[in-house]
Amino acid sequence: MNNMTEQQKAIAVWVIIGLVAGLLATFIFPGNQSLIGALVAGLLGSFLGGILAKQFNIHPNLGSPIADQVAIAFVGALIILLVAWIV
């Protein structure tokens, strides 16, 4: 019954991590973000956070790879929301 490919699972995990990171970031920068807005901020933040973490060789060690990914996405989402707030 579980017919998801590895790529589909990876995308689903990325979306969930992005949503969690976006929701956490909207608590820091409250505004008019909807659930979709939080998801977009989180997805863009996970992309940006991943690039920055790789560029600056940052490897958080929170005890779980998922927690590490959420933390990186959270920081990226904060940057995205900060830029959106300034603009």
| Half-sphere exposure in the Cβ direction for 33 (13 Å, CA) | 26
The rounded distance, in Å, linking the Cα atoms of 26 and 13 is 20
**pLDDT tens across 55-66, in order?**
999 989 999 988
pTM of the predicted protein model: 0.83
The rounded distance, in Å, linking the Cα atoms of 87 and 83 is 6
Task: Say what the pLDDT of residue 32 is.
Answer: 65
Per-domain boundaries in the chain: 6-86
With the C-alpha atoms ordered 51, 6, 64, 14, is the resulting torsion angle positive or negative?
A: positive
Q: Do residues 57 and 4 lie in contact, with contact meaning Cβ atoms separated by under 8 Å?
A: no
